[in-house]
Amino acid sequence: MKQRITALVTLLVLGAMVSPAFSQSLSIVCRCVAGGANANQVAWLKEYVIPEFEKAHAGVSVTLNEFGGTDDALKQQYALDLSVGKGNDVMGFDGFWIPEFASGNLLKPLNAVAGAAVDGWEGWNHISAGIQSILSYGGAIYGVANGTDVRMIFYRKDILEQAGVANADAWQPTSWADITDAAAKVLAAFPDSAPLQINAGTSVGEATTLQGYYMLLLGTGEEPFMDGKWVVRSQGILDTLNYYRDIYVDHAYGSQRVQLVKDGRDQSFANFRDGKTAMLVEGDWFYRSVTAPGSDYAVDNRDEIMGWAKMPSETPGSGIRGQDYVSASGGTGWVLNPNTANPQLAWELLAFMNSKGARDVWMTYQPGIPARDDVPVPNSAFLTDTAAALLPLTVSRPNNDYYAKVSEQIQLMTENVVSGQMTPQQAMDAYAAAVTGIVGADAPFDLHAH
Partner 1 sequence: MHQRRTILPLRTGLLFLGPAALFIGAFILLPFFWIAGVSFTNRTLTGATAANPQFVGLQNYLKLFDLSTFMNPGQFGSSLVITGQFVFWSAIVGQAVLGLLLAWFFYRRSGWVKESVQTLAIVAWIIPDVVVAFAWNAFLDYDGGTLNWLFGLVGLHKVDWLLAMPLLSIVLFNAWRGAAFSMLLFSSALGSIPPSYLETADVAGAGPWQRLKDIILPLIRTHIVTDLILITLWTFNTFGPFLLTGGGPAFKTEVVSVLTYRMAFKYFDFGTGSALGMVMMLINLGFALVYLGLLRRQGSSR
CA dihedral for 384, 385, 389, 395, sign (positive or negative):
negative
Best CA proximity match to 234, nearest among 218, 248, 246, 250: 218
Q: Is 72 a residue that touches partner 1 (CB under 8 A)?
A: yes
- Pairs from 440-446 (Cβ < 8 Å, separation ≥ 24): 443/229, 443/230, 444/229, 444/230, 444/231, 444/232, 445/229, 445/230, 445/231, 445/232, 446/231, 446/232, 446/233, 446/234
List the one residue from 100, 149, 239, 282 that touches partner 1 (CB under 8 A). Answer: 100
User: Residue 171 CB, nearest distance to partner 1 (Å)?
Assistant: 30
DSSP letter (8 states) at residue 354: T
List the one residue from 136, 146, 199, 202 that touches partner 1 (CB under 8 A). Answer: 202
User: Residue 12 CB, nearest distance to partner 1 (Å)?
Assistant: 30
Footprint (CB under 8 A) of partner 1, residues 218-257 = 257
Q: Is 6 a residue that touches partner 1 (CB under 8 A)?
A: no
User: Residue 351 CB, nearest distance to partner 1 (Å)?
Assistant: 27
Q: Is 447 a residue that touches partner 1 (CB under 8 A)?
A: no
User: Residue 101 CB, nearest distance to partner 1 (Å)?
Assistant: 6
Q: Are strands 60-66 and 279-283 parallel, antiparallel or unpaired?
A: unpaired
Alpha-carbon distance of 254 to 272, in angstroms, equals 12
User: Residue 203 CB, nearest distance to partner 1 (Å)?
Assistant: 7
User: Residue 61 CB, nearest distance to partner 1 (Å)?
Assistant: 31
Alpha-carbon distance of 234 to 241, in angstroms, equals 11
Closer residue to partner 1 in complex, CB, 237/306: 237
User: Residue 265 CB, nearest distance to partner 1 (Å)?
Assistant: 13
Closer residue to partner 1 in complex, CB, 104/392: 104
Kindly write down the DSSP assignment for every residue of 391-450, as one continuous string.
Answer: TTTEEEPP--TTHHHHHHHHHHHHHHHHTTSS-HHHHHHHHHHHHHHHH-TTS-EEE---
List the one residue from 63, 105, 344, 384 that touches partner 1 (CB under 8 A). Answer: 105
Closer residue to partner 1 in complex, CB, 87/99: 99
Closer residue to partner 1 in complex, CB, 99/147: 99
Closer residue to partner 1 in complex, CB, 130/275: 275
H/E segment holding residue 283: strand 279-283
Helix 403-418 with 424-439: angle, nearest 10 deg: 160
Stretch near partner 1 under the rule CB under 8 A, chosen from 41-49, 99-107, 113-121, 190-198: 99-107
Alpha-carbon distance of 172 to 398, in angstroms, equals 29
DSSP letter (8 states) at residue 221: T
User: Residue 402 CB, nearest distance to partner 1 (Å)?
Assistant: 8
Stretch near partner 1 under the rule CB under 8 A, chosen from 221-229, 287-295, 343-351, 396-404: 396-404
Alpha-carbon distance of 75 to 411, in angstroms, equals 17
Footprint (CB under 8 A) of partner 1, residues 253-312 = 257, 260-262
Helix 403-418 with 235-245: angle, nearest 10 deg: 40
List the one residue from 74, 106, 118, 320 that touches partner 1 (CB under 8 A). Answer: 106
DSSP letter (8 states) at residue 174: -
For residue 207, the SS3 value is: helix
User: Residue 227 CB, nearest distance to partner 1 (Å)?
Assistant: 22
User: Residue 370 CB, nearest distance to partner 1 (Å)?
Assistant: 30
Best CA proximity match to 330, nearest among 374, 377, 368, 290: 368
Stretch near partner 1 under the rule CB under 8 A, chosen from 97-105, 140-148, 164-172, 213-221: 97-105
For residue 279, the SS3 value is: strand
User: Residue 426 CB, nearest distance to partner 1 (Å)?
Assistant: 9
Cα Rg for the chain, rounded, in angstroms?
A: 24
How many chain residues are in contact with partner 1, going by CB under 8 A? Answer: 33
Alpha-carbon distance of 286 to 280, in angstroms, equals 10
Closer residue to partner 1 in complex, CB, 92/219: 92
List the one residue from 401, 425, 445, 447 that touches partner 1 (CB under 8 A). Answer: 401
Closer residue to partner 1 in complex, CB, 257/450: 257
Alpha-carbon distance of 109 to 141, in angstroms, equals 5
Footprint (CB under 8 A) of partner 1, residues 402-441 = 402, 404-405, 408, 412, 415-416, 419, 421-422, 430, 433, 437
Residues contributing to the site for partner 1 (CB under 8 A): 72, 76, 79-80, 83, 99-101, 103-106, 201-203, 257, 260-262, 401-402, 404-405, 408, 412, 415-416, 419, 421-422, 430, 433, 437
